Amino acid sequence: MTSAAHPSDVAEHDVPQSYPPSPEFAAAANAGPELQQAADQDRLAFWADQASRLHWHEKWTDVLDWTDAPVAKWFVNGKINVAYNCVDRHVLAGKGDRVAIHFEGEPGDTRDLTYNELLAEVSRAANTFTDLGLVAGDRVAIYMPMIPEAIVTMLACARLGLTHSVVFAGFSATALRSRVDDAEAKLVVTVDGQWRRGQAAALKPAVDEAVADAASVQKVLVVKRTGVDVDWTDGRDLWWHDTVEKASPEHEAQPFDAEHPLFILYTSGTTGKPKGIVHTTGGYLTQASYTHHNVFDHKEGQDVYWCTADIGWVTGHTYIVYGPLSNGVTQVVYEGTPNSPNEHRHFEIIEKYGVSIYYTAPTLVRTFMKWGRQIPDAHDLSSIRLLGSVGEPINPEAWRWFRDVIGGGNVPIVDTWWQTETGAIMISPLPGVTDAKPGSAMAPLPGISAQIVDDAGEVLGNGKSGYLVLDQPWPSMLRGIWGDMQRYRETYWARYADQGWYFAGDGAKYDEDGALWVLGRVDDVMNISGHRISTAEVESALVGHHGVAEAAVVGASDETTGQGIVAFVILREGVENTGDELIGELKAEVSREISPIAKPRQITVVPELPKTRSGKIMRRLLRDIAEGRDLGDTSTLVDPKVFDAIRGR
Ligand code: WTA
């Protein structure tokens, strides 16, 4: 288990160990204690109430059908349109002039989109996609930076029942290709280039490379974002401004079944091949909307919300697009990095728009800490009334700094645990109810049930570390892995098959007071700045280099990024170790195959790797080496002398 936050970290005596909500916050909060009572009384009736916050074209006949477990059906026979709920509904309610998106471009350009304008744009895109011959059930790949057109594209897909697959624009052409092929996407939506730290970097060449003879791809739709020169394939490539911008802004949303596939999002598993996590419509939107309303205490028409994630990750899907927009949010969407043109950027944006709810990742909080408090202190951040954290455990020190420096010492922090697979937040404080402990995600939300168990499935008492399982189905749960239902069953449901529990892949414990601490992944998935990357994926990229015979990759603790990637490689016979040159080539290979975010922090050439007698690489020991720890028990190892060889380098 690799853990960034741990109860023992909070042994300080001079700081509060828990932070109750202020009486004023509690009094005005969307969620009070009655929410838990309602869920405890009748869980399915509770979820039906939450679903009723949305507009349904036709009501469901049953809340849950779990007879085909582990594939759930929620809101059976219900008919709903996600885009209608996120856009049209607000316009029809007379809120069309409200700003939906304050877009802040990296070079400083800005654009406000009202709900009226968002509806027109989404309708134009939907009409264009229809003209291109796309029909409900077809897949669309989206490979775009954080610009409004990316959100418009997602909503237009949802409106038409097209299943979108957003691929993070930092992924390589190779990664894009494998995702396009796996989902058999017919359309790829992208940009000419993207802004990164003041520079325009072409993105379309990666798409050209990725879709060259990709059997499924018929069209590539391109938003002109930077004006960089790009190659053009006539008949395949289309400009957004020649098509979408000229299409009719009128479009009537059709209802889709509650279980219609809304999106596929690829995430790293324990093998080299990413898993296409499938989410459907009615249950997903219900939980996305419910959690956004209650966990962030979002007040329509008053709050200015900012989630700093990218739409390439699930946090962007659920807490930039579907959750917030379903609740009629006014939100900031920022295209760039936090230090472009300088480290003041986020705080300037908070000040400029009066951001009141700010949801980010621990790695960014730790980066802010490194830059120093004089930077946020130079700004008026008094608009902030709630802070959120996601992606990895937040260490108590970062938690307290976040609250004191960014939150002015008096706002609640919601530390939200969830996964691509869970679709929405599962474990989190309720900001007006929970006395939050720094570093703890506290408790499953009302309507959600989680247990901490040992290998045999025994439920563990307070103070004992074990595995986090979800023992009841939930509305926004994944419905499978695209094209591989067998892998779905094996990955998540085989471990506790007798009990019928979902195995989350995380270690956790309840402390003596019953607060839940997530302790990090227990499988071979690393968490780098909140990004999931599997050791196997990086290993397979490394052995793709002609000089490498074998590779072993581990995630070692890193002060800023949570974990950093450390690789050990064995060279092929006769390959010369050219030192920095070789290491540089290997790092480039990983960037090319996966993404620069998967580039190892450190690569060490070794003569041998520690293996068990059955031939399995002992990653725990490699992690110990990478983190400079004592080696502990090496008795199951074939040849303990390999350590001297590895370390003596
Ligand atoms: C980790 C991101 C501790 C965890 C939404 C999980 C967390 C994985 C937290 C999912 C948190 C996420 N505290 N750990 N608040 N939030 N994690 O799929 O290991 O990108 O299994 O979803 O991130 O990462 P994913």
State pLDDT tens for residues 109-119: 999 999 999 99
How far is CA 540 from its chain centroid?
A: 23
500: its two tokens: 């019928």
435, with CB counted inside 10 A (0-12, 13-18, 19+), is middle
- Identify whether the C-beta of residue 405 lies closer than 8 Å to the C-beta of residue 312: no
Is residue 532 within 6 Å of ligand 1 at its C-beta? Answer: yes
- Which residue has the CA at smallest separation from atom 25 of ligand 1? 419
State pLDDT tens for residues 181-203: 999 999 999 999 999 999 999 99
| CA angle at 28 for the pair 95 and 400, rounded to the nearest 5° | 110
CA of 528 to the centre of ligand 1 (A): 11
- The answer as to whether 519 is a domain residue is no
Is residue 441 within 6 Å of ligand 1 at its C-beta? Answer: yes
State pLDDT tens for residues 71-99: 999 999 999 999 999 999 999 999 999 99
CA of 342 to the centre of ligand 1 (A): 28
| Nearest atom (ligand 1) to Cα of 5 | 3
- The answer as to whether 591 is a domain residue is yes
**Spatial separation of the C-alpha atoms in residues 287 and 448, rounded to whole Å:** 10
Give the model's pLDDT for residue 7.
44
- Identify whether the C-beta of residue 115 lies closer than 8 Å to the C-beta of residue 95: yes
- Same structural domain, 230 and 370: yes
What separation in angstroms does the CA of 617 have from each of 148, 614, 643, 649?
Answer: 45, 9, 13, 19
279: its two tokens: 């989410």
22: its two tokens: 């202020």
Residue 619 CB partners (closer than 8 Å, separation 6+): 524, 535, 552, 554
328: its two tokens: 């009629």
CA of 417 to the centre of ligand 1 (A): 6
- Same structural domain, 165 and 26: yes
- Same structural domain, 497 and 542: no
Mean of pLDDT values over 490-515: 97
- Which residue has the CA at smallest separation from atom 13 of ligand 1? 393
φ/ψ of 494, rounded to 5, equals -75, -35
**Spatial separation of the C-alpha atoms in residues 649 and 558, rounded to whole Å:** 22
Please give the residue that has the higher pLDDT: either 639 or 235: 235
CA of 391 to the centre of ligand 1 (A): 4
Is residue 275 within 6 Å of ligand 1 at its C-beta? Answer: no
CATH number at residue 99: 3.40.50.12780
Give the model's pLDDT for residue 5.
44
Mutate which of 506, 519, 528 for ligand 1? The one with the most ligand atoms within 8 Å of its CB, which is 506
Is residue 21 within 6 Å of ligand 1 at its C-beta? Answer: no
Closest CA to 370 of 338, 393, 341, 326: 338
169: amino acid identity, one letter: A
436: its two tokens: 């939050």
- The answer as to whether 508 is a domain residue is no
CA of 36 to the centre of ligand 1 (A): 23
| Nearest atom (ligand 1) to Cα of 518 | 3
- Which residue has the CA at smallest separation from atom 6 of ligand 1? 419
| Nearest atom (ligand 1) to Cα of 267 | 18
- The answer as to whether 430 is a domain residue is yes
Single out the residue in 486, 503, 520 at which a domain terminates: 503
Is residue 625 within 6 Å of ligand 1 at its C-beta? Answer: no
- Which residue has the CA at smallest separation from atom 5 of ligand 1? 419
Instruction: Name the pLDDT band for 272 (thresholds 50, 70, 90).
Output: confident
Mean of pLDDT values over 361-380: 96
| CA angle at 597 for the pair 238 and 508, rounded to the nearest 5° | 120
Instruction: Name the pLDDT band for 647 (thresholds 50, 70, 90).
Output: low
State pLDDT tens for residues 595-644: 999 999 999 999 888 887 777 788 888 988 888 876 666 666 666 676 67
Q: How many residues does this entry show for the chain?
A: 649
Is residue 330 within 6 Å of ligand 1 at its C-beta? Answer: no
Instruction: Name the pLDDT band for 555 (thresholds 50, 70, 90).
Output: very high
Q: What is the DSSP letter of 127?
A: H
- Which residue has the CA at smallest separation from atom 14 of ligand 1? 392
Is residue 417 within 6 Å of ligand 1 at its C-beta? Answer: yes
Mutate which of 6, 291, 392 for ligand 1? The one with the most ligand atoms within 8 Å of its CB, which is 392
Mutate which of 308, 322, 532, 534 for ligand 1? The one with the most ligand atoms within 8 Å of its CB, which is 532
Taking the chain, what is the end-to-end CA distance rounded to the nearest angstrom? 27
- Which residue has the CA at smallest separation from atom 8 of ligand 1? 419
Whether residue 298 is predicted with pLDDT greater than 90 in this model: the reply is: yes
- Same structural domain, 325 and 361: yes
CA of 312 to the centre of ligand 1 (A): 15
Dihedral sign from CA coordinates of 265, 111, 529, 410: negative
CATH number at residue 604: 3.30.300.30
Mutate which of 322, 518, 534 for ligand 1? The one with the most ligand atoms within 8 Å of its CB, which is 518
Is residue 390 within 6 Å of ligand 1 at its C-beta? Answer: yes
- Same structural domain, 176 and 317: yes
Whether residue 12 is predicted with pLDDT greater than 60 in this model: the reply is: no
With helix as H, strand as E and coil as C, how does 577-621 read?
CCCHHHHHHHHHHHHHHCCHHHCCCEEEECCCCCEECCCCECHHH
CA of 446 to the centre of ligand 1 (A): 19
Closest CA to 336 of 220, 172, 190, 169: 169
Strand order in the sheet with 386-390: 110-114, 99-104, 331-334, 305-307, 357-360, 386-390, 413-416
CA of 80 to the centre of ligand 1 (A): 29
543: its two tokens: 């052995």
- Same structural domain, 553 and 488: no
- The answer as to whether 510 is a domain residue is no
CA of 360 to the centre of ligand 1 (A): 12
- Identify whether the C-beta of residue 141 lies closer than 8 Å to the C-beta of residue 162: no
305-307/275-280 β-pairing = unpaired
- Same structural domain, 585 and 458: no
Is residue 419 within 6 Å of ligand 1 at its C-beta? Answer: yes
- The answer as to whether 517 is a domain residue is no
CA of 209 to the centre of ligand 1 (A): 32
Question: Percent of the chain beyond pLDDT 70?
Answer: 95
- Identify whether the C-beta of residue 290 lies closer than 8 Å to the C-beta of residue 114: no
Q: What is the tally of structural domains in the chain?
A: 2
What separation in angstroms does the CA of 319 have from each of 240, 269, 585?
Answer: 26, 23, 37
**Spatial separation of the C-alpha atoms in residues 562 and 530, rounded to whole Å:** 8
**Spatial separation of the C-alpha atoms in residues 432 and 439, rounded to whole Å:** 18
Is residue 527 within 6 Å of ligand 1 at its C-beta? Answer: yes
- The answer as to whether 164 is a domain residue is yes
170: amino acid identity, one letter: G
In 355-484, alpha helices (H): 362-371, 374-377, 396-401
- The answer as to whether 88 is a domain residue is yes
Is residue 310 within 6 Å of ligand 1 at its C-beta? Answer: no
Count the Cβ atoms, other than its own, within 10 Å of residue 307.
26
Range scoring the smallest mean pLDDT among 8-17, 250-259, 527-536: 8-17
Give the model's pLDDT for residue 632.
64
- Same structural domain, 492 and 552: no
pTM: 0.92
- Same structural domain, 467 and 566: no
**Spatial separation of the C-alpha atoms in residues 254 and 235, rounded to whole Å:** 30
- Identify whether the C-beta of residue 541 lies closer than 8 Å to the C-beta of residue 594: yes
> Which structural domain range is residue 553 located in?
529-647
- Same structural domain, 489 and 560: no
Beta strands in 268-416 (DSSP E): 275-280, 305-307, 331-334, 357-360, 386-390, 413-416
Q: Which H/E stretch holds residue 46?
A: helix 43-51
**Spatial separation of the C-alpha atoms in residues 496 and 589, rounded to whole Å:** 38
Tokens 């303990």 sit on residue: 640
What separation in angstroms does the CA of 330 have from each of 167, 208, 333, 348?
Answer: 25, 35, 10, 18
3 state SS of 53 = coil
CA of 201 to the centre of ligand 1 (A): 30
| Nearest atom (ligand 1) to Cα of 313 | 20
Give the model's pLDDT for residue 637.
61
Range scoring the smallest mean pLDDT among 291-300, 311-320, 568-577, 624-633: 624-633
**Spatial separation of the C-alpha atoms in residues 354 and 375, rounded to whole Å:** 17
- Same structural domain, 258 and 130: yes
Closest CA to 84 of 262, 325, 311: 325
- Same structural domain, 174 and 273: yes
